[in-house]
């Protein structure tokens, strides 16, 4: 429990090996998502796992910043019913997905959902029931780069932390 290293080595991975992710691993990742916190414990989320290459290509073509999804092994689309805190809840679930993938040695990258003009197309492509909100799509795959998981360079703790007040 003391080892927080896996939190620090999570990075956005956008180049993937041409290798499938076993279904059991994908299930473990989605399973982690359902343990995320949610306002009033509503757990408003649902997840669509896409592994079909043609569908991945279609999703990749929708957004300017999602082209690399065409080479991913899978995408998990995070949806939520429309609650007061659907975005916060969905983002918490998304973080769990990214971290679970990292812990399993699987690369991941968050692709924006909510607020994007392509939400409607994604919902239609994935047969989402009316009213479902697309929170995010997470591209997944085994990283092409050997050292993909290394401690990320981020803003320094000393510049961010305040004790008791700013
Ligand atoms: C809400 C949100 C939306 C994002 N959307 C995209 C996206 O559409 N395409 C993409 O390549 N990366 C996207 N990212 C990933 C960020 O670019 C990435 O997390 C950031 O550059 C920091 O890099 P790191 O994840 O390696 O720490 C998104 C991240 C968040 C939190």
In a domain, 5, yes or no: no
Q: What dihedral do alpha carbons 54, 27, 134, 124 form, nearest 10°? A: 40
Looking at residue 3, its pLDDT comes to 87
**Closest residue CA from atom 21 of ligand 1:** 12
How far apart, in whole angstroms, are the C-alpha atoms of residue 115 and residue 29? 25
Whether the CB-CB separation of 44 and 84 falls below 8 Å is answered with no
Q: Is the pTM of this model over 0.95?
A: yes
Residue 164 Cα, ligand 1 centroid: separation in angstroms? 31
Residue 72 within any structural domain of the chain: yes
Q: Which domain holds residue 21?
A: 11-144
Question: Which residue lies with its CA nearest to atom 18 of ligand 1?
Answer: 12
Interval 107-132: pLDDT, tens: 999 999 999 999 999 999 999 999 99
- Condensed to tens digits (0 to 9), the pLDDT of residues 1-17 reads 678 988 999 999 999 99
Q: Let me know if residue 150 belongs to a domain.
A: no
How many domains is the chain partitioned into structurally?
1
């Amino acid at each position: 429990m003391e080892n927080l290293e896996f939190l620090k080595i999570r990075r956005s991975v956008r180049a993937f090996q041409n290798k499938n992710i076993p279904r059991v691993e994908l299930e473990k990742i989605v399973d982690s998502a359902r343990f995320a916190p949610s306002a009033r414990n509503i757990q408003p989320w649902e997840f669509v796992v896409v592994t079909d290459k043609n569908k991945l290509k279609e999703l990749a073509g929708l957004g300017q910043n999602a082209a690399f999804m065409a080479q991913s092994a899978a995408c998990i689309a995070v949806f939520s019913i429309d609650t007061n805190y659907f975005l916060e809840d969905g983002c918490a679930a998304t973080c769990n997905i990214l971290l679970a993938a990292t812990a399993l040695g699987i690369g991941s990258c968050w692709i924006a959902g909510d607020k994007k003009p392509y939400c409607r197309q994604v919902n239609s492509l994935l047969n989402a029931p009316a009213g479902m909100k697309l929170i995010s799509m997470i591209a997944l795959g085994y990283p092409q780069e050997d050292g993909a998981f290394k401690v990320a360079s981020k803003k320094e703790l000393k510049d961010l932390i305040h004790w008791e007040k700013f």
